[in-house]
């Protein structure tokens, strides 16, 4: 049985058969985003890529490392063709510069950009930064449209925003919402996180697209969605603030990479129990547990046991906050720290200086590592849970290291079941075990073993 309310029935009967919203009410035009979008959408492009990526081939054998070592089971990788769809934003029409996400053009050897008027252009990579998921590509053509950049530091929770992109490859799509939160981090999406959270629908393919305010100014680069499997929008999307993206873009254009500084202070999160032990009336912060000799932290006078609670007028609640803040500073900038020492509040300026990395050719360690460049890494990748480790920084194609299965970004976790974090530890193990060794490698979120003999 259906129930029809009398008032609703009268309303329905009084409506014309082809009802439409009026263009004006009492002579006043109904608000519309159309004029702003007509100016802005030509600057948002669709990006399609073709690439090659190495994929590990899983053999139908036990995964037990001892089994694989005994039978010398090889680590086999296969080069596979990849394709991706995403979005980008033209920010410099004269020079054809487009901001997008690193993951949109990762592994790409061919990048095609489609404009709203149907033009298809080939793009080249200018620079990319995996830590912030920002990349800059360039096209060559005339009559391009750019979107002006806003000051994302002026954003407030509740501000209206519009997301423009290419979800699911459907073509350019516009969604609207508000700023739900600012300064989101700890999501595990990127190494350095400082996201704008919005409820404007962001779906697969929106990555690299524009988040604009009602004036049509770029406030962020859409980058991630939150949900089971990241398959669709549930009202929680994230964008990289344009101030952060702009700073990264400048360095990518100038140097082709981001030159980051370091602090040289290692530590852990402050808990309520530790705060009580330290005599501090706070429940969060960053406790310094180790200072690297000669580092910026050492020169500034930071000491073990100091509890850093703020930097550049921004609260520091955890080690991740500290990592994010340092990672976003340019070389030569000064961080104004506020910390507690023996119960007293102390203000200290720290000058951010370059990361000095000790590097060695892999052939010095083992003939099968020839062609690889290995570096002693510190602090830059705190999110991986390691402060000091050896990372493969370069692998020459066709070299012994390439044939042995080493890839850029591999972390040498151990040799013959002995943890290795420095070159001295490696050479001590080589001297003890000779040239026969099994290396435990951390690659992304998984581990594998490579046998060298």
Q: How far is CA 181 from CA 7, 160, 311, 326, in A?
A: 41, 12, 20, 22
What lies within 8 Å, CB to CB, of 119 at 6+ separation is: 141
> In the annotation, is 283 catalytic?
no
Residue with tokens 């058969």: 17
- Among residues 129, 131, 133, 321, the one annotated as catalytic is 133
CA–CA gap between residue 114 and residue 295 (Å, rounded): 47
Strand ranges (E), 119-271: 120-129, 134-138, 160-165, 173-184, 195-198, 210-212, 218-225, 237-241, 261-262, 265-269
CA–CA gap between residue 237 and residue 233 (Å, rounded): 7
What lies within 8 Å, CB to CB, of 320 at 6+ separation is: 185, 186, 193, 382, 383
Q: Which long-range contacts (CB under 8 A, 24 or more apart) does 415-423 make?
A: 415/439, 415/440, 420/390, 421/376, 421/386, 421/388, 421/389, 421/390, 422/376, 422/388, 422/390, 423/358, 423/360, 423/376, 423/390
Is 210 in contact with 164 (CB distance < 8 Å)?
A: yes
What lies within 8 Å, CB to CB, of 89 at 6+ separation is: 43, 44, 45, 98, 99, 100, 147, 208, 209, 210, 218, 221
Please name the residue ranges forming H helices in 235-279.
242-255, 272-278
Q: Report, in this order, helix, strand and coil percent for the chain, each rounded to 5.
A: 20, 40, 40
- Among residues 103, 323, 366, 381, the one annotated as catalytic is 103
> In the annotation, is 191 catalytic?
no
Cα 99 versus chain centre, distance: 14
> In the annotation, is 103 catalytic?
yes
Beta-bridge partner residues of 395: 372
Kindly report the length of the chain. 453
- Among residues 84, 152, 207, 404, the one annotated as catalytic is 207
- The helix/strand/coil state of 320 is helix
Instruction: Just list the catalytic residues.
Output: 103, 133, 207
């Amino acid at each position: 049985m259906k129930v029809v309310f009398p008032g609703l029935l009268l309303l329905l009967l009084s409506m014309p058969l082809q009802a439409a919203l009026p263009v004006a009410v009492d002579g006043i035009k109904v608000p519309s985003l159309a004029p702003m979008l007509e100016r802005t959408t030509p600057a948002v492009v669709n990006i399609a890529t073709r690439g090659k990526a190495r994929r590990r081939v899983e053999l139908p054998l036990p995964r037990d490392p001892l089994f694989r070592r005994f039978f010398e089971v090889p680590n086999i990788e296969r080069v596979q063709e990849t394709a991706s769809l995403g979005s980008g934003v033209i920010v410099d029409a004269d020079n054809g510069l487009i901001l997008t996400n690193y993951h949109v053009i990762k592994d790409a050897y061919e990048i095609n950009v489609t404009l709203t008027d149907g033009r298809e252009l080939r793009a080249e990579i200018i620079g990319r930064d995996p830590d912030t998921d920002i990349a800059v590509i360039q096209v060559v053509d005339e009559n391009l449209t750019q979107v002006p950049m806003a000051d994302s530091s002026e954003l407030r929770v509740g501000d209206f925003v519009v997301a423009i992109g290419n979800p699911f490859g459907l073509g350019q799509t516009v969604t609207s919402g508000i700023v739900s939160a600012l300064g989101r981090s700890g999501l595990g999406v990127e190494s350095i996180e400082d996201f704008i959270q919005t409820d404007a629908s962001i779906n697969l393919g929106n990555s690299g697209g524009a988040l604009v305010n009602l004036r049509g100014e770029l406030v962020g680069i859409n980058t991630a969605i939150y949900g089971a499997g990241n398959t669709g929008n549930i009202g929680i999307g994230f964008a990289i603030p344009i101030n952060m993206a702009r700073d990264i873009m400048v360095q990518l254009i100038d140097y082709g990479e981001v030159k980051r500084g370091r602090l040289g202070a290692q530590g852990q999160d402050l808990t309520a129990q530790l705060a009580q032990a330290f005599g501090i009336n706070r429940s969060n912060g960053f406790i310094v547990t180790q200072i690297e000799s000669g580092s910026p932290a050492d020169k500034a006078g930071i000491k073990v046991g100091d509890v850093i609670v703020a930097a550049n007028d921004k609260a520091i609640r955890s080690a991740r906050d500290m990592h994010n803040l340092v990672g976003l500073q340019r070389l030569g900038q000064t961080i104004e720290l506020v910390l507690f020492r023996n119960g007293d509040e102390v203000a200290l300026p720290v000058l951010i200086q370059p990361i000095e990395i000790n590097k060695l050719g892999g052939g010095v360690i083992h003939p099968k590592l020839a062609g690889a460049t290995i570096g002693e890494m510190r602090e830059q990748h705190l999110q991986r849970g390691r402060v000091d480790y050896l990372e493969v920084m370069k692998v020459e194609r066709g070299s012994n290291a390439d044939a042995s299965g080493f890839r850029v970004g591999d972390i040498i976790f151990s040799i013959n079941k002995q943890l290795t974090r420095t070159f001295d530890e490696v050479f001590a193990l080589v001297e003890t075990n000779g040239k026969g060794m099994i290396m435990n490698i951390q690659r992304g979120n998984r581990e594998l073993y490579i046998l060298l003999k």
